[in-house]
Structure 1
């Protein structure tokens, strides 16, 4: 009986193999009738019954080919009756998702994410998947609505329907009545209507609904999701006051409610009461309320927010008054004017912050004698017993983060290439322009400043490290910014010039994709680099900032080739192992070649 069952599994998988293709022919060479199906790549069998229970073919570049029926998910898979896990994510599969896949009652995990699959979610799917724990269908081309009966998936822990685009209608009310749910990601779709009451999700830790058309108030019932850590309701049509009930989310780490129509209190009450309530959230590290009509004055109790807070975004609001002195880690930055009329930036250091004196000394030593076109110039240092400040060149166009992620800002492809060349030249100068190499350690878009001519300058050496003569590496307990930090830096505190190269590679990816490494889409197992590595083979149109590259563009092919070349370079800069990363000298040379090809090809099109 077992042999016959195993043979039926083998037959089904061989039929599946015949309908897909991969660049390395891994399945063609490994999946053969002469070897046991349980020894095939990507196949797992049960210990007792020896039936196939899991199929994991993620990130193998499986794709559709001519004739048209190839590259689809074949009906054959439904014949493996004991299959518990189906993982075909991060491939290039196309065609309809067979509705019969949603009728395999043994399924616990279905992962078809990051393909080009079409079709709809069957209305009766929830009746046939009693054991389903994870449904991953993000980054596909499905259409229709989320089945109303989704609340019947009583064991569901993770629901990821992000970036399907064609997903419309309202969020079913029963979604928030699945007590086992830990993660809900319905981001970047076209869902509308109000957010349903949140009734019974005691284990929910992540709720991501950004980039839809959801409206109405943020319900006070949000407080029922008491274990929530990540909440992203940004880029919707929510209105009304920001609820004080957010204070009940004591485990909250990320709160993103930017780009809505939210207000602080009422039409006449402009107090930021919700902000004072957030002082109960001791683990908060990121808040974004940008792009809302929030008026009034930032309260002084903003300084009472979580000590772990790393990001506070409130741009494009309607704020008035002064910036509270309570804001700042190592210091606050002011705009000033010298007696000769020269505009400057003045960074005043915060003595209440542990490490402020050390940060000041480091910044002075690292910057005082550095003169370079692409590095923020220190005009002078001010120091007394109770006051320390740096006077810096003022950069009138703000920072790269603003230009990449603000609604009213846009950089064309040439501007982005020029900025990244400027940054590469600056880093190369720090690494090779002095007897003692300087490691910045915290290169990120907010530390890349743009002057009136859009020339980029690297600044903020608050945690810069100097490598002594003969030293290859230095160990430090100071942490850089999460997401841009090299793996070896985050794990061990060991730094080298290769840490800056890694950060630069991540910024290259962000600059041309408009995706941040800290976006909720990226978790430990799928970093922005892993996403780029698996997505780049699909073509630049799949990964580029949608405002930067469109199929109807006059120079589409030229721009796509340029972006692909830059992303290849970014992957070489952000390799996991330091010794595999490029040197910044080579990066500068390669980027300048890419720019020249771009300009030459545009001229000849």
Structure 2
């Protein structure tokens, strides 16, 4: 458990401590209960409890089964009474899957001191009658679906000590009346939609020890009245839209242990004098704070976490970390600490005493100077080290090899020189190395082969030389290898080409490699991108290259290859970009290239002969080039090549060199003019479905305007990043019209992607496209829209999480399995059975639609990727949806089909656990994947959504227990599939075909159980 998880746990433990303390003291108090402990009082409590039960509509675990007249209500589950006079003093029904609303009769339980309904699905408003409970000490209603405002008369609970309403759907202001709760110790309002700032009058609650209001759009500033909170220990106001300065008086609250104000708009500087002797965690990242970090932070001897990243702090870093022996997490990245002083990196020396340090992030801080040898004396628990994008120079210290706990090392974008130290081979846990864009020289040490867990190695844009070490062949987890723009020589080692794990990119371009391309290159069957450009490779292109069936991009430009393009390359049916220019290739242009989904083809400056094809990529002069091939003829007219039957007639009339010069000049002129015309006519040349060879109906802007009642608000059924979707009627049929917001950057590209995708794919489990419209509106503005079949049952997200359709029933287990199979079938089709193979890129519940028969249809191909085409975005900046996008995109990797499998795994886990991947409980390294994987294999039922477990209630037959066990086994298998699909390492994820097979087996098992 890391420091951040421990901090979160401590809050919960403290609340439980208060609850337990109150409960014990209450249960042993007899005189208090005797005040009104007569029969009428007991009847009142009994009646109130039955009213509470009557408004609970679902009880999947049977938590309220005992709430009947066969037992005294003091013996009911979750109910505790005072020992002498038998009045209800506690109701604890946490995590019971209860649904319904909270009855106002709860206000009649006049002796109630503890009420906890956490982690259920209570809806509706919080009853005002809670304000009648003057003896209440703990009120905890977090992780429910309560709506409306916080009742103002909560002030009537004058003995309240703990108040939790976090993770609901509450709106409005924080009531000023809370200030009357003079005994309040703990207040948590996280994860709601509260606005209008923090009322300054809350400063009157001098008893407060912890106040948490994370993730609310509050706005406003931090009130100065906080100075009265002399007992405050923890304050956590993350992502609350706060602005202004942090009151200096806050830094005099000597009992504070946690200050968390990250992701706000706070400005100003930190005062030079801060008196917080007990401070454990200090998080101010993601603000606009300026000035230096005050040296007084050195006095916080208990500090375990300091996170000041993404601010505007400047000046020399003068904190003496030697006094912060317990520091575990230090993040100062994206600030302006560069001081231009020779000793500015000496603070590293003072970190040597921090033996608990696990995470150190100092990238993009404007640091200069030499990296001290003392870097190797850092904690052996350090697992992440970020020092990239600074201005560090000098040699990499040999002592880096002492950091045996490292899993990630990023030193990119500096000015390091000299060799990569061989001691790097000591770092057995390293998975990620990024040393790109430095000035490193010498060879890659053979010891790199010791890193058996390495999956990402990036050394491009250095001055490395010598042979590429064969020892890299020992790195069997490697999926991405960037060695381009260096000075490597020698031959390509066959052991590297035999690393079948390399699936993202292998880039050896811009080096001095020579010799033939080994036939072992064919072992890279799953490789997406191969770039060997600008070397001195010779011989023929090996036929084994046709075994790299996963290739999308192949670049062999600027080598000495000769002979013909081998026919075996016809197996590369997903090839999108091919560049073999500037070689000595000969023969005719292979006809199989006409059938490829090529978007870029460069055959220039070789010795090809014969006729140039005229279809697909060869029909677009701006997408391919055959310059410098003097013996070619035919092709589209823009090339200006002679007709094939005229070459021999004119052969003797002009010298060969004159023909070459003439053709080259004409081609250059035509290509340039074509480029200019293409830019001017871009709007007319953009693809639409109606121009793509199939018989799609033609629709105009006016027709769609009428079909959607003028794109009215009443017709609007959804919004996306680039578009709005409207329900309409076209030719008597309901349709969904997706209108692109062309003023948003990327919308045009999204439209083109979808058009290209829908041109190539048809499947039962994909959304059906009707047509597209590329026109102008009545004001002359560009207008683009896609028209789909209307799917009446909404999205999977609506079925899982929407509370608007109260009449809609929850998905049962069989429906969940069938929907997952539909989605898996769709992925298997686009990944393996259509041409070209397609990566969806944004798979999530909102993009999965359900028809009247509950058949799932995958839609929204706006981020589609044709196995690495020119449509692919830069890996800088993650595309897709947070929570569902695969983690390797954040490491600078390209899109692959296995990333869709990751998204599928997250969706599966979301369906069976009922928890979204962006749930507030998933933070600080804890994720939906980890939540599910920790439950395997023996505690799966602890994470299953209570709505799924309703299947137990209706089970029939004499083998009820056996059937229940079978269902639990099926759920365990489903969770295992979700976990296997969503592991961090792409190479370890389950194949989509195996997913289909496993789900089929589970479905067969469930269908044989009579429920």
TM-score, normalization by structure 1: 0.57
Map 1:11-410; keep pairs closer than 5 Å. 24-28=99-103, 31=106, 37=112, 41-42=116-117, 51-63=135-147, 71-127=148-204, 129-165=205-241, 167-263=242-338, 266-269=339-342, 271-328=344-401, 329=404, 350=424, 352=426, 364=474, 366=476, 371=500, 374=503
For 1:375 and 1:581, how far apart are their aligned partners in 2?
23
1:395-415 residue CA offsets vs partner (Å, 9 max, x unmatched): 999xxxxxxxxxxxx9x9999
Map 1:400-549; keep pairs closer than 5 Å. 418=841, 445=887, 519=924
Partner of 1:438 in structure 2? none
CA, structure 1 residues 34+303, in 2 after alignment: closer, same or farther (shift >3 Å)? closer
1:477-498 residue CA offsets vs partner (Å, 9 max, x unmatched): xxxxxxxxxxxxxxxxxxxxx9
Map 1:560-599; keep pairs closer than 5 Å. 579=976, 581=978, 583-584=980-981, 588=992
Instruction: Answer whether contact 1:213 1:236 (CA < 8 A) is retained.
Output: yes
Instruction: Answer whether contact 1:172 1:196 (CA < 8 A) is retained.
Output: no
1:290 deviates by 1.3
Instruction: Answer whether contact 1:88 1:111 (CA < 8 A) is retained.
Output: yes
For 1:583 and 1:307, how far apart are their aligned partners in 2?
30
For 1:396 and 1:237, how far apart are their aligned partners in 2?
41
Aligned length: 432
For 2:296 and 2:214, how far apart are their aligned partners in 1?
27
CA, structure 1 residues 351+162, in 2 after alignment: closer, same or farther (shift >3 Å)? closer
TM-score, normalization by structure 2: 0.36
CA, structure 1 residues 141+528, in 2 after alignment: closer, same or farther (shift >3 Å)? farther
CA, structure 1 residues 420+312, in 2 after alignment: closer, same or farther (shift >3 Å)? farther
For 1:334 and 1:187, how far apart are their aligned partners in 2?
24
For 1:528 and 1:218, how far apart are their aligned partners in 2?
40
Instruction: Answer whether contact 2:266 2:287 (CA < 8 A) is retained.
Output: yes
For 2:206 and 2:886, how far apart are their aligned partners in 1?
45
1:106 deviates by 1.2
Where 2:350 maps in the other structure, the secondary structure is: helix
CA, structure 1 residues 349+218, in 2 after alignment: closer, same or farther (shift >3 Å)? closer
Give the stretch that moved more between structures: 138-147 or 579-588: 579-588
1:232 deviates by 0.7
1:53-94 residue CA offsets vs partner (Å, 9 max, x unmatched): 11111111222xxxxxxx011112111111111100011100
CA, structure 1 residues 417+310, in 2 after alignment: closer, same or farther (shift >3 Å)? farther
Where 2:315 maps in the other structure, the secondary structure is: strand
CA, structure 1 residues 40+208, in 2 after alignment: closer, same or farther (shift >3 Å)? closer
For 2:252 and 2:973, how far apart are their aligned partners in 1?
41
For 2:142 and 2:995, how far apart are their aligned partners in 1?
32
Where 1:125 maps in the other structure, the secondary structure is: helix
1:218 deviates by 0.6
1:231 deviates by 0.4
Where 1:102 maps in the other structure, the secondary structure is: helix
Instruction: Answer whether contact 2:134 2:159 (CA < 8 A) is retained.
Output: no
Unaligned segments of structure 1, at least 5 residues: 44-48, 64-70, 336-345, 380-391, 398-409, 426-442, 459-497, 507-511, 531-573, 593-605
1:125 deviates by 2.4
Instruction: Answer whether contact 1:136 1:160 (CA < 8 A) is retained.
Output: yes
CA, structure 1 residues 457+42, in 2 after alignment: closer, same or farther (shift >3 Å)? closer
Instruction: Give the CA RMSD over aligned residues.
Output: 5.7
CA, structure 1 residues 293+365, in 2 after alignment: closer, same or farther (shift >3 Å)? closer
For 1:81 and 1:290, how far apart are their aligned partners in 2?
50
1:427-465 residue CA offsets vs partner (Å, 9 max, x unmatched): xxxxxxxxxxxxxxxx994698656x655899xxxxxxx
1:509-548 residue CA offsets vs partner (Å, 9 max, x unmatched): xxx979997748x799x98999xxxxxxxxxxxxxxxxxx
Higher relative CO (CA 8 A, sep ≥ 6), structure 1 or 2?
Answer: 1
For 2:114 and 2:976, how far apart are their aligned partners in 1?
35
1:252 deviates by 0.8
1:145 deviates by 2.1
1:269 deviates by 2.5
1:299 deviates by 2.3
Partner of 1:563 in structure 2? none
1:109 deviates by 0.6
Instruction: Answer whether contact 2:158 2:181 (CA < 8 A) is retained.
Output: yes
Unaligned segments of structure 2, at least 5 residues: 1-31, 59-97, 119-132, 412-419, 431-446, 455-473, 478-494, 509-523, 532-745, 754-837, 845-863, 868-884, 911-916, 935-970, 982-988, 997-1011
Where 2:203 maps in the other structure, the secondary structure is: helix
Partner of 1:540 in structure 2? none
1:41 deviates by 4.8
Where 2:337 maps in the other structure, the secondary structure is: strand
1:326 deviates by 2.7
CA, structure 1 residues 331+73, in 2 after alignment: closer, same or farther (shift >3 Å)? closer
CA, structure 1 residues 215+360, in 2 after alignment: closer, same or farther (shift >3 Å)? closer
1:226 deviates by 1.3
CA, structure 1 residues 395+109, in 2 after alignment: closer, same or farther (shift >3 Å)? farther
Instruction: Answer whether contact 1:135 1:160 (CA < 8 A) is retained.
Output: yes
Where 2:250 maps in the other structure, the secondary structure is: helix
Where 1:326 maps in the other structure, the secondary structure is: helix
